[in-house]
Amino acid sequence: MSTRLQASAADADTQRRTRRPTPAHRRWLGQLLAVLALWLALAGTAHADGAFNVDDALTDEDKAALQSSLRAGFWRFRRSIALGPIAGGVGLCTLSDTECDGGVSFGLGLYRFDIPVVPTLDMVRTLIERRALDRGKELARAGTPDRAPTQEEIERYAREELMTIKAEVMRELNARKPKLAEKPGWHMLLEGAYLFSSEAWQVRPTIGLGIGPISVGVTSVVHIADNTNLAVGPELGYHLTLGKQTRTIVIDLFARADFAVTGRDELADAISLGVRLGLDIL
């Protein structure tokens, strides 16, 4: 008899766990989402009835910390730009007869790095709203309780969820640290170079765009020796951003190819490896 009662209790428990949501359960889920959506839709506006909203989740201490983060955001924006002189060295080998040469370069460079800036208070509010809506959808998919909670329980639970979301967002905003290799945005360079063995001068403009951790660019060079010729080609770069100060020191490691456009009997196609050092004087 005891075994039969235990089996019956187990079956009843299984049925209770697997039964379909009742209309009351569906109303509770809809009510929870409606309360969250209402608070989020009216976030940032005055509530005569004292309803809780996203602004209630941002305390005075949070807003003061955000203002500090905004000042740090200016520092990050300033770090994302480096404008100043560049100097470096390059080694190259021709593709036809494998003759190698080396030289020094100097010029002016402008680098723009994709460093996120801390958003404004409105943007923080928007982040919290989006996260809260996603959390509400997750709760709706998670299942239903054994009973429909009261309105007070819904509001208390939603408050707790929103405060948790706020803490996550604020923590993410303040976690950004300077990186040794910031993600490249784009760069523009104008260089002059002198090649030792060929005793030739070069003038080279280069533009590049960041793709993931590297930059891909196009370069052209005016080669000045006995005759003046032109070459163009691609350039790949990897940029190191040294230091944690406002002014960024850039070490630019690059590989490129030059294909002669004019004077192909005088100017051979070549591949190059080199490094540049960029100083920020802005």
pLDDT tens digits, one per residue of 23-57: 444 444 444 554 454 444 444 333 444 444 555 55
Q: 108-121 burial by CB neighbour count: b if 16+ within 10 A, else e?
A: ebbbbbebebbbee
Q: 126-146 burial by CB neighbour count: b if 16+ within 10 A, else e?
A: bbbbebbeebbeebeeeebee
Q: What share of the chain is helix, strand, coil (3-state, %, to 5)?
A: 35, 35, 30
Predicted confidence (pLDDT) at residue 71 exceeds the cutoff of 80: no
pLDDT tens digits, one per residue of 117-159: 655 566 666 666 666 666 666 666 665 555 555 667 666 666 6
pLDDT tens digits, one per residue of 218-247: 999 999 998 999 999 999 999 999 877 777
Instruction: Say which CATH topology domain 81-116+179-278 has.
Output: Porin (2.40.160)
DSSP string for residues in 131-146:
HHHHHHHHHHHH---S
Indicate the pTM of the whole model.
0.61
pLDDT tens digits, one per residue of 146-198: 555 566 766 666 667 667 766 666 666 565 677 889 999 999 999 999 999 99
The neighbour count for residue 203, using CB atoms within 10 Å, is 15
DSSP string for residues in 138-198:
HHHHH---SSPPPHHHHHHHHHHHHHHHHHHHHHHHT-----SSPPEEEEEEEEEEEETTT
Identify which of 204, 183, 187, 207 has the alpha carbon closest to the alpha carbon of residue 195.
204
Domain range summary for the chain, segments of one domain joined by +: 2-61+119-173, 81-116+179-278
pLDDT tens digits, one per residue of 12-24: 454 444 444 444 4
